[in-house]
């Protein structure tokens, strides 16, 4: 058998839940997933025979990791849009909207991270926090500072988080204290960051550079064209913002009168391709949707941020129906939470506001929100063959999720051991209460709507354990 001819490093045993399509979560009970030294999934056995487990247990060098009763393995969550440099401002946005928010809260903080010790402090906390929430892959914005951006790349690499790290390119319309000198310098600094990542992680197995024009208003035409050329040459992904806020859209129209819409600004610069991640896309026109679709660009939906900054509500169902690939972004600190689970939760809430005008079919289900948080995000970042589900050939980016069992005094009277066993079920004290009568579907819904980092008991990336809930 195949499993005997290769080195199995770890065998995960228990219940596995993952998306098999946008609408369907699959629950694999009493199953096993075998992972090799490099973190690759070699085998998904469903259901697994006791005899097989016994055989594996005897193999030298093989570790068996079992999910406890009431616990389950879930694919790692993917954050397709997060500004690590803004993490300390989480929750601080007042009643601002995008353009005044940038000047009031955002640029001063980002600029201050040019101090390496401050960058280290902020980035190490941000990465630790996102890992604790189960973010196994993140597409990060750093700042416009090269050293600071490289500190973020190193931080992710050391912590073992899969990451795309982008230096913010911005040679226009930003304050003097926080702007690239000119297009040439901006490109040169971007290349420096790309070279740093290529040295840090030559095969790009964990950390890669991502080309990051901040957004059209803060980039000159020349800079965007240069970045478009660099994208074509380098094969790197590109991330930017699009159509987040109506004031921003008017600004883009006035800055780029030669373009019929916002998407065209990026397209003319060669920045719209199947390797492009567009954050927000709240107000895309039909023409823009058609263009994004034609170019195969991906969209990062950021519901928490869009609500907080009064940007509006992206019509995710419409995008999905068009066949456009959508993932979720926390958009810290436009979004106030570093949790992809919170983004998934609020994606369902935002979809309900959208449905008030667009009809019932606009609503996102639990299954769909969790698809966006895993497989959707993976495809946005070109990782659909690597992560997002439990399939042979993918890598082991996963969470162990546990909930809390509510003690039952009646049973306690009958059998003290039983009570203790049931109390031990799950993850200790977590915000998700199980009464014991829930089915798996209900348990997953409870996790989505009530869960937080306390339900994330362990986190692995590429087979390596990168987080464990503090005892």
Q: In whole angstroms, how close is the CB of 278 to a second copy at the nearest point?
A: 21
Q: In whole angstroms, how close is the CB of 247 to a second copy at the nearest point?
A: 12
Q: In whole angstroms, how close is the CB of 218 to a second copy at the nearest point?
A: 24
Which C-beta is closer to a second copy: that of 176 or that of 360?
Answer: 360
Q: In whole angstroms, how close is the CB of 453 to a second copy at the nearest point?
A: 7
Alpha-carbon separation of residue 146 from 76, 138, 196 (angstroms): 29, 19, 10
Residue 175's contacts (CB-CB under 8 Å, 6 or more residues apart) are: 103, 107
Which C-beta is closer to a second copy: that of 182 or that of 358?
Answer: 358
Q: Which residues pair with 163 in a beta bridge?
A: 138, 207
Alpha-carbon separation of residue 294 from 241, 297, 320, 440 (angstroms): 18, 8, 14, 39
Sites of contact with a second copy (CB under 8 A): 87-88, 90-95, 117, 120-122, 125, 129, 307-308, 310, 312-313, 336-337, 346, 349, 352-353, 355-356, 360, 363, 365-366, 406-410, 429, 431-433, 435, 437-438, 442, 445-450, 452-453, 470
Which C-beta is closer to a second copy: that of 76 or that of 303?
Answer: 303
Alpha-carbon separation of residue 381 from 74, 114, 223, 346, 384 (angstroms): 19, 27, 23, 21, 8
Q: In whole angstroms, how close is the CB of 88 to a second copy at the nearest point?
A: 5
Q: In whole angstroms, how close is the CB of 63 to a second copy at the nearest point?
A: 28
* CB burial of residue 429 (10 Å; 0-12, 13-18, 19+): exposed
Q: In whole angstroms, how close is the CB of 114 to a second copy at the nearest point?
A: 15
Which C-beta is closer to a second copy: that of 234 or that of 423?
Answer: 423
Q: In whole angstroms, how close is the CB of 127 to a second copy at the nearest point?
A: 12
Phi, psi of 13 (to 5 degrees): -130, 135
Q: Are 342 and 313 in contact (CB under 8 A)?
A: no
Q: In whole angstroms, how close is the CB of 406 to a second copy at the nearest point?
A: 5
Q: Helix, strand, or coil here: 91?
A: coil
- Picking from 39, 138, 99, 14, the residue whose alpha carbon sits closest to that of residue 395 is 39
Which C-beta is closer to a second copy: that of 93 or that of 140?
Answer: 93
Which C-beta is closer to a second copy: that of 218 or that of 339?
Answer: 339
The pair of structure tokens assigned to 458 is: 């362990």
Which C-beta is closer to a second copy: that of 142 or that of 313?
Answer: 313
Which C-beta is closer to a second copy: that of 297 or that of 339?
Answer: 339
Distance spanning both ends of the chain, measured CA to CA: 39
Q: In whole angstroms, how close is the CB of 107 to a second copy at the nearest point?
A: 16
Residue 425's contacts (CB-CB under 8 Å, 6 or more residues apart) are: 68, 69, 70, 71, 402, 405, 434
Sign of the Cα torsion 12, 15, 20, 21 reads negative
| Residue 226 DSSP class | H
- Picking from 322, 95, 85, the residue whose alpha carbon sits closest to that of residue 214 is 85
Alpha-carbon separation of residue 152 from 120, 122, 138, 143 (angstroms): 8, 9, 12, 10
| Residue 466 DSSP class | E
Which C-beta is closer to a second copy: that of 239 or that of 455?
Answer: 455
Which C-beta is closer to a second copy: that of 333 or that of 386?
Answer: 333
Which C-beta is closer to a second copy: that of 148 or that of 346?
Answer: 346
In terms of phi and psi (left: phi > 0; alpha: psi -120 to 50; beta: otherwise), the region of 343 is: alpha
CA dist 339 and 151 (Å) reads 22
Q: In whole angstroms, how close is the CB of 97 to a second copy at the nearest point?
A: 9
């Amino acid at each position: 058998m195949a499993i005997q001819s290769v080195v199995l490093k770890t065998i995960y045993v228990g219940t596995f839940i993952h998306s098999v399509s946008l609408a369907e979560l699959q629950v694999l009970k009493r199953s096993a997933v075998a992972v090799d030294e490099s973190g690759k999934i070699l085998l998904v056995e469903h259901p697994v025979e006791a005899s097989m487990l016994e055989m594996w247990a005897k193999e030298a060098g093989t570790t068996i990791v079992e999910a406890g009763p009431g616990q389950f393995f879930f694919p790692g969550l993917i954050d397709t849009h997060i500004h690590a440099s803004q993490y300390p401002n989480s929750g601080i946005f007042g009643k601002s909207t995008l353009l005044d928010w940038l000047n009031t809260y955002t640029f001063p903080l980002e600029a201050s991270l040019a101090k390496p010790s401050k960058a280290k402090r902020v980035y190490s906390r941000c990465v630790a926090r996102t890992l604790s929430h189960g973010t196994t892959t993140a597409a990060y914005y750093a700042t416009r500072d090269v050293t600071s951006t490289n500190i973020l790349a190193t931080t992710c690499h050391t912590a073992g988080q899969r990451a795309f790290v982008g230096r913010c390119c911005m040679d226009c319309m930003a304050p003097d204290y926080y702007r690239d000198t000119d297009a040439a310098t901006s490109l040169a600094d971007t290349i420096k960051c790309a070279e740093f990542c290529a040295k840090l992680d030559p095969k790009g197995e964990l950390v890669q550079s991502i080309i990051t024009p901040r957004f059209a208003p803060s980039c000159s035409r020349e800079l965007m064209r240069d970045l478009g050329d660099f994208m074509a040459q380098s094969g790197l992904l590109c991330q930017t913002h699009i159509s987040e806020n109506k004031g921003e859209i008017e600004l883009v129209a006035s800055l780029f009168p030669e373009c019929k819409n916002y998407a065209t600004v990026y397209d003319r610069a060669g920045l719209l391709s199947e390797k492009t991640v567009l954050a927000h896309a709240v107000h895309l026109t039909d023409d823009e949707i058609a263009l994004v679709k034609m170019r195969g660009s991906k969209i990062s939906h950021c519901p928490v941020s869009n609500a907080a900054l009064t940007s509006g509500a992206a019509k995710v169902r419409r995008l999905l129906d068009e066949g456009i690939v959508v993932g979720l972004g926390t958009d810290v600190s436009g979004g106030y939470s570093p949790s992809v689970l919170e983004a998934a939760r609020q994606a369902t809430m935002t979809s309900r506001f959208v449905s008030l005008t667009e009809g019932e079919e606009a609503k996102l289900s639990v299954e769909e929100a969790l698809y966006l948080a895993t497989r959707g995000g993976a495809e946005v970042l070109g990782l659909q063959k690597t992560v997002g589900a439990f399939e042979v050939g993918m890598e082991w980016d996963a969470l162990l999720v546990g909930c809390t069992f509510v003690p039952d005094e009646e049973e306690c009277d009958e059998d003290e051991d039983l009570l203790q066993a049931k109390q031990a079920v799950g993850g200790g004290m977590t915000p998700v209460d199980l009464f014991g009568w829930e089915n798996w579907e209900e348990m997953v819904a409870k996790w989505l709507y009530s869960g937080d980092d306390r339900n994330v008991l362990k986190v692995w990336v590429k087979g390596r354990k990168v987080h464990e809930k503090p005892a």
